[in-house]
Amino acid sequence: MTTVYDVARVAGVSTATVSRVVRGSSLVHPDTRDRVLAVVEALGFVPDASAQGLSRRRKDIIGFVALERAAGEMDIERGTLLFADQIVHAAEAVLRGTGYSLLLTFGGRGEQFERRVRALSGKVDGLLVAEEIMAVDDLRALAERIPVVMIAGRPDETGLDVIAADNRSGMTALVDHLVGEHGNRRLCLVSGPKDAPDATARQAAFEAAVLAGPGSVVEQVIHGDFSESSGQAAARVLLDRPRSASRRALPDAVVCANDQMAIGVLRGLQRAGVAIPGDVALTGFDDLYPSHLIDPPLTTVSQPVRELADRAARRLLARIEDRSLPPRAEILPTTAVIRVSCGCPGQ
Amino acid sequence: MTTVYDVARVAGVSTATVSRVVRGSSLVHPDTRDRVLAVVEALGFVPDASAQGLSRRRKDIIGFVALERAAGEMDIERGTLLFADQIVHAAEAVLRGTGYSLLLTFGGRGEQFERRVRALSGKVDGLLVAEEIMAVDDLRALAERIPVVMIAGRPDETGLDVIAADNRSGMTALVDHLVGEHGNRRLCLVSGPKDAPDATARQAAFEAAVLAGPGSVVEQVIHGDFSESSGQAAARVLLDRPRSASRRALPDAVVCANDQMAIGVLRGLQRAGVAIPGDVALTGFDDLYPSHLIDPPLTTVSQPVRELADRAARRLLARIEDRSLPPRAEILPTTAVIRVSCGCPGQ
DNA sequence: GGCGGGAATGTAAGCGGTTGCAGGGATAGG
DNA sequence: CCTATCCCTGCAACCGCTTACATTCCCGCC
């Protein structure tokens, strides 16, 4: 491996000069610079990042930690671009121009994982943490050593930088659309697990929005687990509802707390001969699924994933520059994406 | 930032001992070890990876370089798990147990990109390079400095380690299925660009397999560009074919060189009232799309992406251990994934 | 001619770990 | 009681690059 010493010797200068040339310092005579550069090229010299990092106290690497889907989920998710992947791409794009690189680790809670993140923290200048992957205490401990920015965590009083999306705005817009544009009155929600923060936030927003609508009512809330199969189960529940004189069996619209469950509901209802959106309007949440493959295209709420990652990366870089920045929670709005499953015409 | 010196001082030992404890060396008295460990914990000491890297001549990081989809493609690809993402997950899974981390960079050919990869090479112990992202010469130059393993590149005489998939086996199995099981005789191929190695390989395999079939013929080859819209264009070409006494307008089966184009063809034909697979059998290639969202589920050829990445990662680790390993090209078979669009019953 | 000043370059001290080698203490054997 | 061994620890020299500070050299000007 060629080093600055090799280059210095061959070029007949000191290592200081080599370093200055390589790092692009201005205080080098053009002739010298050219000579050194030629030698660098000839010898194929690439500075060792460890040595640079040690000397400059900066590694030019930032870490990204996210949940790995379990092996079981893998098949379910097969073919879908995950939240984490989108974040990776967006964050990498920000870093691209800066000389920083992205180091990543996936995993889930657990002793082993904490250890890995800890080791990881020695390799990076800052950490991007997606979702609620670690206990808040561990996060705080981490944040004391290196800058940490959370993506999509609960923007609570952790005292950490957080960039998150607001479940409310999109859900409200969605319900307004369903009620206002399409005149739906009797709405059902297929919610997530009761202990999932996102699920409860979406449910609260849903209920508030329906309550605010002219004459609209929450007819039923069914709890799923965010999986497609739990969506199918929800469909069965809907289909089994007794029809009475005062109400038809199916509601006007079914709002789901994520896209996967919406797909499940869609499949379940379609299989029973229910037309979507003809008989029932249906919506999802997240906009992670490739909606153009679904028939009908799914009306949903879009999380600004790339924007989230983009801002988080920038925030982290800023914090690395200036460790004393006050931590801040930044909340981005979600938006309703109107496609066809709500009853709107295509295209 | 606490260092080994801090720990040593507090624990009343030398830095050597601290280092030995942290690295898990056996030559430390249990009592000493416990004392040091306690201090490490109390002080929240995490060894600096740069210093370790410099000293041990190993960074415990491997790099991954892949093509970034252009901004334009982004929308088309929206919601699909990309080749690169799958590789990232698989490679990371291999590394997870080893103490190595994955550092990644996306990009495309171009001066700027070469530079970035070069700088990257100073940060890692080895490089995983996906697809033909760099000129072979640049790759060779890289490989002279650090271990490099290519994923899915052409397994030609580059003298580099390559792990690639074989287009032939899957395509052959697919055509055999179409011809043998479903009795299709008149087949069309929607191929890729003429200068794309994968496209030509798939086309050659297709033609050979059809030729080998009992009475089967290649009725037409249409060239697309791997995009969904080019698939739609291909559908138009198929629909415009003159029908004559000797042949119906549509072929028995349309084989596509990737899934995207297959989706395009599907949409185009369905829109014209053609039933898939009732009127025409249709197949894709890659199995990257979330086929369970498509109606009908797409019969296609599966690239063993995760297996590719898994082996590449292992190979790279092996090469890092022993730089003198002879380079080897490893070719994995592709397999036909029979779903519904070929005419088979679902589930 | 002498001197202040600025530009270009060199010297060398770190940066924070790791590890070969040496030292010291305790135990066992002579 | 002396010495050979075996453990356990410490000393100190790197690893390769950066950078504060020192040095040298060249101008220009009084």
pLDDT tens sequence across A189-215: 999 999 888 899 999 999 999 999 999
User: Which one of B116, B291, B295 has the shortest CB-CB distance to A295?
Assistant: B295
Answer yes or no: are the C-beta atoms of B36 and B43 closer than 8 Å: no
Q: Coil, strand or helix: which one is A62?
A: strand
The encoded tokens of residue A69 equal 């889907």
Residue A79, pLDDT > 80, answer no
Of B147, B165, B155, the closest CA to residue B325 belongs to: B147
Count of residues making up chain A: 347
Which of these ranges, A60-69, A139-148, A154-163, B136-145, has the smallest mean pLDDT? A154-163
What does the pLDDT read at residue B295?
83
Q: Coil, strand or helix: which one is B63?
A: strand
User: Which one of B54, B116, B123 has the shortest CB-CB distance to A54?
Assistant: B54
Chain D positions under 7 Å from a protein CB?
7-12, 14-20
Cis check: omega of the bond before A304, within 30 degrees of 0: no
- pLDDT band per the 50, 70, 90 thresholds, residue B72: very low
pLDDT, mean of residues A301-315: 94
- pLDDT band per the 50, 70, 90 thresholds, residue B212: very high
Chain B CB contacts of A102 under 8 Å are 103-105
Chain B CB contacts of A107 under 8 Å are 96
**Tens of pLDDT, residues A35-69:** 999 999 999 999 999 999 999 999 999 999 988 76
Q: CB distance B79–A118 less than 8 Å?
A: no
Chain C positions under 7 Å from a protein CB?
7-12, 14-20
CA distance A345 to B177: 39
**3-state class percentages of chain B: helix first, strand second, coil last, to nearest 5:** 45, 20, 35
Closest residue (Cα, C1') to D10: B14
Q: How far is the CA of A18 from the C1' of D18 (A)?
A: 11
Tell me the CA distances in angstroms from B239 to A328, B206, B259, B260, B273, one per residue in order.
58, 22, 20, 19, 11
- pLDDT band per the 50, 70, 90 thresholds, residue B197: confident
Checking each nucleotide's C1' against the CA of B14, the nearest proves to be: D10
What does the pLDDT read at residue B258?
92
Distance of CA B170 to the CA centre of its chain: 16
Tell me the percentage of chain A whose pLDDT exceeds 90.
71
Choose, out of B6, B46, B69, B227, the residue to mutate when testing the contact with A (most A CBs < 10 Å). Answer: B46
Q: Coil, strand or helix: which one is A84?
A: helix
Of B288, B301, B286, the closest CA to residue B339 belongs to: B301
- pLDDT band per the 50, 70, 90 thresholds, residue A157: low
B51 touches strand C (CB under 7 A): yes
A37 touches strand C (CB under 7 A): no
Mean pLDDT across chain B, nearest whole number?
A: 90
